[in-house]
């Protein structure tokens, strides 16, 4: 069975600084997708970034980028130039290629941004 682990329950960053959230996963599948979701206080799940396992290039979305290490099964999220609006719960998620959208979530990391 696949598992996703986020070992940082809480992280804090100064506004405008950079922070990295860690995520590791375990799977025997070769094709899969990895995601980072943001859940602000409204509790709406917002997709931050997505990575296809077959792509070697790390995904980037504006201030958000990932460091995808397939052999190490690591998928960290880097937030650059942190903003107050980045404060939220962040969840790492895994989806197998043939899972029809079923996501396996990590435990979550609560990010606070200090002004």
Residues near other proteins (CB under 8 A) are 33, 35, 42-45, 47, 50, 52, 89, 91, 95, 100-108, 110
Going by C-alpha positions, the residue among 5, 28, 41 that lies closest to residue 97 is 28
Cβ neighbours of residue 13 closer than 8 Å, sequence gap 6 or more: 19, 79, 82, 86, 111, 112, 113, 114
Which residue's CB is nearer to other proteins, number 13 or number 34? 34
Least CB distance from residue 55 to other proteins, whole Å?
Answer: 12
Instruction: Identify the bridge partners of residue 74 per DSSP, sorted by sequence position.
Output: 24, 69
Which residue's CB is nearer to other proteins, number 17 or number 40? 40
Least CB distance from residue 45 to other proteins, whole Å?
Answer: 4
């Amino acid at each position: 069975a696949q598992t996703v682990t986020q070992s940082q329950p809480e992280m804090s960053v100064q506004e405008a600084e950079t922070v990295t959230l860690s995520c590791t996963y375990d799977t025997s599948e070769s094709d899969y997708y990895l995601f980072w979701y943001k859940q602000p206080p409204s509790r709406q799940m917002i997709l931050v970034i997505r990575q296809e396992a077959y792509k070697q290039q790390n995904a980037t979305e504006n201030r958000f980028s990932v460091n995808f290490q397939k052999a190490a099964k690591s998928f960290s999220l880097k937030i650059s130039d942190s903003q107050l609006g980045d404060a939220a719960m962040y969840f790492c998620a895994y989806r197998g290629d043939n899972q029809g959208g079923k996501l396996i979530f990590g435990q979550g990391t609560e990010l606070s941004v200090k002004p």
